[in-house]
Chain A
Amino acid sequence: MASSSQTKCLVTGGNGFLGRWIVQELIKRTDYHITILDIFIPTNAINTDRITYLTGDITDAAAVRTALKGHHICMHVASPPHHFPAEKFKRINIDGTQNVIDACLAENVGRLIYTSSASVLSDGSPLVNADETAPIPKTFIETYSETKAIAEAMILKANCDRLLTCSLRPSGIFGPGDTQGTPGFMDVLKKGQHVLQIGDNSGLFDWTYVENVAYSHILAAEKLTPGSKVAGQAFFITNGTPTPFWNHPRALMAQKNVVAPYLIIINYHIALIIGFLSEMASLIKKALGKESKDGFTRVRVRYISFNRYFNITKARTLLGYEPVVGYKEGIQRTMAHFIEQEEIQAKKKTQ
């Protein structure tokens, strides 16, 4: 159990991909007592002297308030995955965040760190060396980004003497335990689609190794002190080494010793036309009452062809942030994990 003098930190979504890494970093770099609040807690999770597990839904205001009682810091990490329907994003990202803010104020939590996203700037236009002075766009390419931007604005607005807040905007998180990006690229490989490339690979993309993102949360917690310049601010968090977009999946596959035997390069403009046709087909399907996923859209074509990279000078100067794991090392560690997982899966099958 936590002693009365110990700093107590609650992590919403602490059982998710990033959440688990944040908990690990908290254990490694601080002496805080950690409460993990998550909608899903594995049944075999056992409380330790550092960690308390709590099952709870952040859309439930009363539950959030009860959970935050007695805590000094809240890291609000919980957010639904990209494939969730739009109304879920609104419920979890906006209403959930309001619940967290209200509970922090009611329970005198003191410090609130929000895990935002670099996509709060995603209106479909290129992002070149974008920094925190860039205005939040009026329209967004997807509900996810829009709800993250609204929630972030709420968090920053809530900053006051009683509750110090800040927001972190990571871009392209990847790492061991990744449930979206890396497995997505592995699926592409399985389907043999890794020979496809859209555009000339001139757009740069910022990928960020998960441990660096987790580390930035610890820095933010420590720098959120009365009078600090961090309070009420947003920070882009990346590895600081943007690379051409298509390099990333190739680098991941290369760890498995796989390289595309040839490449089919689809011209950017032609890809836009294909995207348009696929959107139309999807609309017709929906009109006919059939289910249809938005697969290949123009928004996606632009997203992977344009520059999308950020300037992290503000995080460097105010948070003292510097990536602790380089991009190349991050790729190696990530794939070592996924290859191991595949081997375990394969063993299970043969047994």
Chain B
Amino acid sequence: MASAILASLFHPSEVLALVQYKLAPKTKYDYSNDKSRERLYHHLNMTSRSFAAVIQDLDEELKDAICIFYLVLRGLDTIEDDMTLDLDIKLPYLKTFNEIIYKKGWTFTKNGPNEKDRQLLVEFDVVIDAFLKLKPAYQTIIADITKRMGDGMAHYATAGICVNTIADYDEYCHYVAGLVGLGLSDMFSACGFESPMVAKRKDLSNSMGLFLQKTNITRDYLEDLRDKRFFWPKEIWGQYAESMEDLVKPENKEKALQCLSHMVHNAMKHMKDVLEYLNMIKNPSCFKFCAIPQVMAIATLKMLHNNYMIFTHENIKIRKGETVWLMKECTSIDAVAAIFRIYAREINNKSNPLDPHFIDIGIACGEIEQVAESLYPGSTAEVARLKAGVLAGTSGTVLTAAAVVAGAVVLKNKYA
């Protein structure tokens, strides 16, 4: 906490958000009266850093279904990810995981000892038991997405991940993230919280996943490079370097930054869809669940843009204070549109005019502003409110500091 406050020292509205967050009564989720449910949420907390909190804040009706959806896909991912498993062992599991989740008592112990979520599969009967208790409509949705994702993983495991064109990039992101968006939308509509339209607009659900995934892929350049995984499409990096590894070389710094802004520009294209999707979401808990990851993504994208650290440091993140501030503020479509506008402006102002995508990024920012002004006119007042909050925080801090100094001077004079 102290280090988070220190990091946000020059962003007083974040300090305020951090303090509020710390002082706010935490919803304690107590599952002790239901041992299997307790175990289920134990696994959720063990496997996900960011999703555990937002999932548990969902309405009771959806909470278990989405938790199980998450754990099923995490289980599938744990098999796919394990490089100690032979392909011919792996493939049948990937292709039939949608059937496995109906087999009471099924567990999996063949994962390598270093696979971080292996315990989830060792106790997977817990997840299956809970899955079988879900309403049939949710079971069908989870099984359907599991089937499609499993097939996608089997395809990439066999053929290798070869992201050549931008279309390949979109397709890969669809399998690993877009499908999750589709499944969640199906659930929102199936439970009656949201209109059937949410499930029907598959293009928008897909964009929700793509915006997050592309931001992560852009951020994780160095980490993926170390593991010899290449997700940046050749159609993009090929314009700046001979190979993906070349981007990291100091002599290619300028080209690397140009390539980075190309990636940022590509991700920004989904922002319009994200706003349109969030505008359909009416249930407050569903809204926060969907919106929080998206505002984190735009903040991350802003941090990444024109930032050479992507090529020198692994695991760079936005400030904790910024995260908490974003979580606090993203309560309505107008607020989210305002956050998008503020960060889009900052992205634009971080651009280097000599960069080949300088004009394109400016146009993309203009588009966000234009869409927000015409479809979410309330966002204009929200921009002013959020900026005033930041300004008040800053002037408050300056005044406090001045008061402290003045006080010290007075005391010194009095007792000197």
Contacts and interface: CB of A to CB of B under 8 A. Distances in A.
Contacts of B359: 243, 247, 251, 327-328, 331
A266 to B, nearest CB: 15
A9 B405 CA distance: 77
Interface residues of B, number: 18
Given A251-B358, A254-B354, A201 B348 contact: yes
Interface string A64-107: 00000000000000000000000000000000000000000000
Interface residues of A, number: 22
A274 to B, nearest CB: 21
Contacts of A259: 352-354
B354 A257 contact: yes
Interface in A227-261: 241-244, 247, 250-251, 253-254, 257, 259
Contacts, number: 60
The B contact surface, by secondary structure, is: helix
Given A204-B366, A204-B369, A328-B359, A244 B354 contact: no
A253 B353 CA distance: 8
A241 B362 CA distance: 9
A241 B348 contact: no
A251 B373 contact: no
Interface string A197-211: 000111010000000
A180 interface: no
A151 to B, nearest CB: 29
Contacts of B362: 243-244, 247, 251
A345 B349 CA distance: 34
A248 B354 CA distance: 13
Interface in A83-140: 128-129
Contacts of A200: 345, 349
A309 B367 CA distance: 11
Nearest to B377: A128
Contacts of A327: 359, 363
Interface in B366-403: 366-367, 369-370, 373-374
A128 B373 contact: yes
Given A129-B373, A251-B358, A242 B345 contact: no
Interface string A250-291: 110110010100000000000000000000000000000000
A254 B352 CA distance: 9
A201 B366 contact: no
B370 A309 contact: yes
Given A204-B366, A259-B353, A244 B373 contact: no
Interface string A311-351: 00000000000000001100100000000000000000000
Q: 6 nearest interchain CB pairs?
A: A243-B362, A250-B353, A254-B353, A247-B362, A328-B359, A242-B366
8 contacts: A202-B369, A204-B369, A204-B370, A243-B362, A243-B365, A254-B353, A259-B354, A327-B359
